Chain A
Amino acid sequence: MRLARPVGLLLLLILLLIPELLAANGASSVETGWFRTYRINAVIVAAVFSAAVLYYTQRARRGDKLFVRKIAGLDEVEDAVGRATEMGRPVLFIPGIDEIDKIDTLAGLSILGRVALITARYETPLYVPVRYPMVLAAAQEVVQQSYITEGRADSYNQDMVCYVAGEQFAYTATVNGYMMRERPAANIMMGAFYAESLLLAETGNAAGSIQIAGTAQPEQLPFFIAACDYTLMGEELFAASAYLSHEPLMLGGLKGQDFMKVLIIAAILVGTFMVTTHLGGDWMRSLFEVR
């Protein structure tokens, strides 16, 4: 029971908190106790969500079959790397352009780990330009471990992952230059992207690369959809690592997410009904207000 201890700790914390929070009577944001009781709703939602993820993860551990729909972009990753191997050209991986504390970047690094396993297996050159030194350290570790796992430690070169520039457009110019000079067979862009998304994707398209992108930034999705062959949208980015790993333990988390989504949809429908019919709309609204 690898999960037992951390799960126990988390549940213990929630159990300790809930009585304290429930004891609070006012909704005032001026607190004198140890807890910000006005955040009880957020704590309860977080607890339900955590419980759902943990429940489905445990079910997956027990061997329950979990259905996950096909994500075409991810199925294409291995083929894209294979194509690069045949053509003798490199694979370019961009783990977004944000800092390591952004969850999108961590999702990107997780996918990088899976991609590096494939490039190590086929001995395909891999290039990972990064924008922040902290991401550099993490990405180097991820790629190195993947090469070691595949038994190709000798093929790993530290400069596969390199820091290019801290400024957004200087970074973009460097990567675009690389795309036009080296013409990578596949560009995989997974993480947080901003105004540079179309600059990168259009240049990659002009260079004739197969492009697979994924971002949770809604405003950048149209650009990736227009210029890339496959695009992962929103939560697909966070599901990618679990999907590529085929590990039941990881897939269990996705099921927990779906459960929470059903609850949110139900809350939206009930809330809309109550507000529209004036049946306690204000009460419903205050229930979900987070301060």
Chain B
Amino acid sequence: MPRRFAKKVKSMKNGTIKVGGLARVEGEGGLYLKIKGGTVVDVRLEIFEPPRFFEALLRGRSFSEAPDITARICGICPVAYQMSAVHAMEDAFGIEVGGPLRALRRLIYCGEWIESHALHVVMLHAPDFLGYPDGFKMAKDHPGVVERGLRLKEAGNEIIALLGGREVHPINVRVGGFYKVPTKRELAPLSERLKWARDAALELVRWTAVLPFPEFEQDYEFVSLRHPFEYPFNEGRLVSNRGLTISTRDYENEFIEEQVPHSHAMHSRFKNRARLPDGQGGYLVGPMARYSLNFDRLSPLAQEAARSAGLSPVCRNPFRSVVVRSVEILYACDEALRIIGGYEMPETPAVPVRPRAGTGAGCTEAPRGILYHRYRVDENGIIQEAKIVPPTSQNQAMIESDLRRFVQSNIGLSKEELGLRCEQTIRNYDPCISCATHFLRLHYESE
């Protein structure tokens, strides 16, 4: 039987909630939450995902290996790693990639958004709203919804597989462009599936719109890319709803990564901590930030679908991120169709690349938010230093802040219900722990 929303049983004045082995997130982590006298005194997102030291193992490797090596940070969003890596290297070498090659990069990124978002919306997040432990059990009562979700995911995978060679860790992305580019005729068959996917995404937006959402509007500082005329994928300036507008090269002047004892993942903050209401310097990246800062850049179809789903142009309720992700799937299908329709095969699969000594930065919109890479390379293009800041590290402070506030305002819930809602609060962010560890477990402990 599906579990329904909020039933009040025994209120929790004192105690500790621990979730060990958080499910339906990518990677290993948990939650520790301590309540004393009806007040939340400690919230920790614990990340035991073993560290893999990518920034260290990149040293001494060739610039050309960066897209293939960094893809291995995450099996769910390898394209994002490849994109940030190639843009950072191209920044270091003074290379511009335009025309159809730029369009193909945008197209493969559309594929990753569709694939990653569809998995999260239907298989990982929706079960929380409807009270199922997973998408498989949900499929027994909602077979059409789950099948449509998996087919949508497949549509995204098809784009990645065609342009990248395979869905996970694609092999065709290189600094300067691609190893091989498709002909117009090779690309065309994607359109049929994508037209179906666009309709399916529209239905998904309508389906998510009526899920039960708790009232939980938060005053976030959203950070995302903003481009003069496009919804952001690969390029743009970093902007926020509180006046930030910087070049991606200035990322490290504005933000800092800090280590905390309970986690193998870094926490990112504004260097100037006073910016945030709680004075901690946390900020939010990802679909809600992108959407709220770039609503005017969505296609008319996506804007209309968002409005019909009851979303205003700014979304501050993280539980509604499930609707925002669905709107982004719709946009990505629409955009992919536009790109395919206008595609002309470039003369060469890549622009010439001549390494030179220097430092380059790249920041692109991974499905979960901005992903920053910086490399210092020598005159032969050998990596001397690498810095990678994944979206989930940047969102950790906000996840902990959401948890603290959510628990504080729902302290009357039973232990079990509170634990489940905490997990959902975390899954609002589609956290990718594998990425952030360079990330989560909920334990429940009574005093």
Do A and B come together as binding partners? no
